[in-house]
Amino acid sequence: MNTQEYIQIEEQYGAHNYHPLDVVITRGDGVWVYDVDGRKYLDCLSAYSAVNQGHVHPKILAALVEQAGKITLTSRAFRNDQLPLFYKELSELTGYEMSLPMNSGAEAVETALKIARKWAYQVKKVPRHQAEIITCTGNFHGRTITTISFSTEPLYRDDFGPFTPGFVTVPYGDANAIAKAITPNTAAVFLEPIQGEGGVIIPPKGYLKKVAEICKKNNVLFIADEIQTGLGRTGKLFAAQHEGVRPDVTVIGKALAGGFYPVSAVLSDKEVLGLFTPGEHGSTFGGNPLAAAIARAALKVIVEENLVQRAADLGEYFVEQLSEISSPHVKEVRGKGLLIGVELNEKAGGARRFCEALQNKGILAKETHERVIRFTPPLVIDKETIDWALPSIREVLNME
């Protein structure tokens, strides 16, 4: 079957909840993917940062195959021999005392919101069911009813109410707005250190540090959503570390399993995650032995291949090179590490046509918020490959 035949079947039988580029991928290797017609592409999206370690990394693949031949699922009704080691290695790497594994990033977000509310009632003594959580405009934390309840994107919300109460929204990047929004019932401030889906929006310098100070002063939890930004993507293990900030709770996912399996986790210390008691929260698949074995291998690859530093060095180079491109269409190039956004002018005609043109030149990138092209290749990319891509990117950004 060829590309058009696959697309026709997908359009006929699948719900139309995405608008993908018309490329049908059948194989991946490192930073490269191949379509069903034999064409080769540089992946500059990395499945929204899920494949930081590159496609089908051999060490993660070996861990998957080995564990899949032993046991894949026990449920949390029984213990398994992979989860304890995953807990330990995750704590040693991140510095948090405890973790709670789930599957999707959205599940981990829901978990963090639940524990923040319980902390508010049990520790801060907020009146039961009166807890408030402060969120920011332009956020993206998932697609569940609760997470869209505090989204400011009409497309995500319009036909899906009624919404979950208990959230207060303030402008992103404005720490003073957070300070003003805090009340005695505030349980947490919940935000992304860099808004990836929002268009690679980087807050003003010092913002995260000030937010952390405000939270500490007011006895409020600071929760960072590092699902896209975490595990090396921005040139630090966590993006909050660029300002020396250690949030009370950090939410991770995506690259936690290197693209092989949905694995997410909530990280915190015992004073927060220790509040959960048996039966209050759970997941049949969360923490299963296959997931834990894959995640352990994925974390080892990040450390052993020095991917955090690679992202810092190559990201700086990539941003520098993109910034030097002279194009009437480009408004701004911004990024941290290998999380890079190229924002186009209003007259450029939208980012989609540029992504389609890049596809024709063997580069896969994706538009976000209509006018931003994201360049987020796997962290295993090298300088030579970036140099290979730059002439095509330059040509596309200068097209009519």
- Active site residues per annotation: 140, 225, 254
User: Residue 250 has what DSSP assignment?
Assistant: E
Written as one string, the DSSP assignment of 98-143 is: EEEEESSHHHHHHHHHHHHHHHIIIII-PPTT--EEEEETT----S
For 296, half-sphere exposure in the C-beta direction (CA atoms, 13 angstrom radius) is 21
At 333, the amino acid letter reads V
Q: 172 CB contacts (<8 Å, ≥6 apart)?
A: 136, 137, 138, 139, 191, 195, 198, 201, 203
Q: Tokens representing 329? A: 């269409």
Residue 148 region, left (φ>0) first, then alpha (ψ -120 to 50), else beta? alpha
- Cα–Cα distance measured from residue 104 to residue 150, given in angstroms and rounded to the nearest whole number: 19
CB count in 10 Å sphere of residue 206: 11
Residue with tokens 């080769």: 40
Written as one string, the DSSP assignment of 138-202 is: T----SSHHHHHT---HHHHTTS-S----EEEE-TT-HHHHHHH--TTEEEEEE-SSBTTTTSBP
CB count in 10 Å sphere of residue 281: 16
Beta strands across the sheet bearing 40-43: 25-29, 32-35, 40-43, 363-364
Classify burial at 42, counting beta carbons within 10 Å of its beta carbon; exposed 0-12, middle 13-18, buried 19 or more.
buried
For 304, half-sphere exposure in the C-beta direction (CA atoms, 13 angstrom radius) is 10
Chain centroid to Cα 391, Å, comes to: 28
The crossing angle, in degrees rounded to 10, of helices 307-323 and 383-397 is 30
CB count in 10 Å sphere of residue 152: 16
